[in-house]
Amino acid sequence: MPHVTRLRVFPVKSLDGIDVSSTTLGEGGALALDREYAMFDADGDYVNGKATAAVHRLDSTFDPDTHDLTLSVTDPGPDEPADEPTFRLRDDDERAALSKWLTDFFGYPVTVERDDRGGYPDDTELHGPTVISTGTVREVADWFDLPAENVRRRFRANVEIDAAEPFWEDRLFGDHGEVVDFEVGDVPVEGVNPCQRCVVPSRDPDTGAEDEGFRERFVEKRRETEPPWTDSDRFDHYFRLMLNTTVPKSAWGSEVGVGDAVTVGERREIA
């Protein structure tokens, strides 16, 4: 029986993640702390990896107890901040100071907002944690001769399951109009679809430099190694990796942790 081997949340959307041993499922079904904070430009759009590769040059550490965020810039230029400040994000004034620091870094107005009820999920419809298997991480790392941790940082999954089979998590979605029920410990989760990837995984997570031919090689290798259980009309192209999920409202507030067993249930039509 596979188990959860890693739980990772991303307290500030698009910045570095932190590993936790256990956490609760908040409103909407997302893991607590995940994308609780986000950066916005003057038009109200996210400042994230899709919008600007400069995000990758921000190194961050986050204290889950105090919500202290420490930032630094990789190889700062003459007009970029060279300090390593710490901001207490629960404090409005501290978030305003962080917004100014980020404005100086990006070169245009940036504000940092907080939503402690459900956060700012990447998928606005499927708020549950994203899932990947260790076998998938290792397989993709082999394709590009990368360390496994580099692949984790590129694809940014919340839950890693210790299944050794590459693409084991593809068992957890069906066709359009279907979900696959599974449990993490005793918490019910619904697997919905394979995650469609954007430009972010093709970039070096430290510098933001795009790896030439990354998407093309990924698509080629994903096609070559597609297991039989991936067959689904949701898998309409090969630049997909990781599972998007939903969590029933009855399970909001439940706790999940590293070591929890993962039990696969039935594939069923959505009610």
Tens-place pLDDT, residues 124-146: 888 999 999 999 999 999 999 99
pLDDT tens-digit map of 203-218: 999 999 999 999 999 9
> What's the mean pLDDT when you consider all of the chain?
96
> What CATH architecture does domain 4-30+121-269 belong to?
Beta Barrel (2.40)
Q: Which amino acid is it at 107?
A: G
What's the pLDDT score for residue 126? 85
Is beta strand 131-133 parallel, antiparallel or unpaired with respect to 159-161?
parallel
Instruction: Determine how many CB atoms are found less than 10 A away from the CB of residue 42.
Output: 10
Q: With bands split at pLDDT 50, 70 and 90, how would you rate the model's confidence at 81?
A: confident
pLDDT tens-digit map of 112-124: 999 998 899 988 8
The residue count of the chain comes to 271
Given a cut of 80, whether residue 150 has pLDDT beyond it is yes
Q: How many CA atoms lie within 13 A of 227 on its CB side?
A: 13
Q: What share of the chain in percent tops pLDDT 70?
A: 100
* DSSP per-residue string spanning 171-187: GG--STTEEEEEEETTE
Q: With bands split at pLDDT 50, 70 and 90, how would you rate the model's confidence at 55?
A: very high
User: Which of 48, 57, 61 has the alpha carbon at shortest distance from 18?
Assistant: 61
Give the residues across from 92 on adjacent strands. Answer: none
Indicate where the chain has its CATH 2.40.33 domain(s).
4-30+121-269
- Token pair recorded at residue 214: 């990354």
**Sign of the C-alpha dihedral, residues 191, 193, 196, 202?**
positive
User: Which of 136, 140, 119 has the alpha carbon at shortest distance from 172?
Assistant: 136
Name the pTM for this structure: 0.96
pLDDT tens-digit map of 171-189: 999 999 999 999 999 999 9
Q: With bands split at pLDDT 50, 70 and 90, how would you rate the model's confidence at 78?
A: confident
